[in-house]
Amino acid sequence: PTSFGRLYVASHLGGFLDAHPRVSVELDLSDGFSDLISERIDVAIRISGAIPRSLVANRLGDSPRVLCAAPGYLARHGRPARVAELADHHLLAAVGQLPWRLEGPTGAVTVDGISRVRTNSSEVVRELTLAGAGVALRSLWDVDHDIAKGRLVRVLPEHAGVSDAGIYAVYPRAPLVPATVTAFVDHLKAHWSPPPWSA
């Protein structure tokens, strides 16, 4: 995914290339789905609840998601005290990301609605949230620094996105896995253990 690749993959490529100077890298960042076999992709990062059996999946970490909004938005619109009150707020989500499935003290709950802005970009949703346009359900790896610095505030902190999503390095099943793929996955594991985002 674009945001994750920019924040957590690109920043580690220099060290990987220094350790493996004969390896050439092409980094493709996209929020769309890529067919690894037909597009001849060696390894991909997927954030998902399930990985097809046709791929080898190396779990690199969890991907917790939290509800958040900018302090300015909450000052203008109030802070929801219950999940049902989200229906009175501006929701922000990329195409295909609603409804939200949340877990809370009383179990699972679904929040449906229409995003205030229609976009196919998760990065645009993040920027809209920072600008005070509404409430979003964001991956913690994407917003933990903004929450720590007070640019965003957690909303309904006792609720979070369902915890079935993980971050995986995946590659096609094959009798022989290229050494470059194994080296790259090991490199990411070393830098993400523990994950650099807050739990």
Strand 91-92 vs strand 135-139: parallel, antiparallel, or unpaired? parallel
Per-residue model confidence (pLDDT) at position 198: 58
- The tokens describing 21, both together, are 């100077």
pLDDT of residue 199: 47
Q: Report, as an integer, the average pLDDT of 48-62.
A: 89
Give the type of residue at 26.
E
- For residue range 65-80, what is the model confidence (pLDDT) as tens digits? 999 999 999 999 999 9
Query: Could you give the percent of the chain with pLDDT greater than 70?
Result: 98
Type of residue at 161: G
Provide the whole-model pTM.
Answer: 0.84
Indicate the pLDDT class of residue 49, thresholds 50, 70 and 90: confident
Give CA 137 to chain center in angstroms: 10
Pairwise pLDDT comparison (9 vs 1), residue with the higher score: 9
What is the tens place of the pLDDT at every residue in 150-174? 999 999 999 999 877 889 999 999 8
